[in-house]
Amino acid sequence: MLKMSRLTDYGTGVLAYLAAAGEAPHSASQVAEQTGLPAATVSKILKLLTRGGLVTSHRGALGGYLLARPATEITAAEVIDALEGPLALTECSVEAGSCELEASCLVGTAWQRINLAIRRALDEISLAELANMQAGHRPRVDLRTIVASPGRMARLERG
């Protein structure tokens, strides 16, 4: 089963919040409060997103986090890359030559083609579309509904 991690799901929600929140920087604690996620989880996500070039951070009293580019210019593929690493259905599908069995493998080329097709589809979907922000629709992002169980919340708070 192809499945992204909860961290990527939550990270998409954090990005959607930043996209909807406008051009003023938002602190990690503000993002956590507004999304309903634990502060430690939001801090971890924001660090990954900053390292991935999707978010910028600004220090100081008026500092915080902002999208590095407009939501329409950030793709779903970039979000996954920043939070999960490069999309790869199998070890050999990351790039040609990355598998020691490639010369004798009968299915590797097919997996690489499938991986590429999925990548192209994700490149066509923007953060704005993921966040359903087209035509002025700006939803409030509240991830508490995803993190409803007390056990799941405790695991998130531990990082």
Backbone Cα Rg of the chain: 17
Would you state the pLDDT for residue 139?
Answer: 47
| SS3 assignment for 56-109 | EEECCCCCEEEECCCHHHCEHHHHHHHHHCCCCCCHHHCCCCCCCCCCCCCCHH
Would you state the pLDDT for residue 89?
Answer: 74
Q: What is the DSSP letter of 149?
A: S
Would you state the pLDDT for residue 41?
Answer: 94
Would you state the pLDDT for residue 111?
Answer: 76
Question: CA–CA distance from 47 to each of 95, 98, 118 (Å)?
Answer: 26, 28, 26
> Mean pLDDT in runs of 10 for the chain (159 residues)?
81 92 89 92 96 93 90 94 84 64 68 83 89 53 52 54
Question: CA–CA distance from 27 to each of 40, 65, 73, 142, 146 (Å)?
Answer: 13, 6, 23, 16, 22
Please choose, from the candidates 22, 132, 29, the residue with its C-alpha nearest in 3D space to the C-alpha of residue 70. Answer: 22
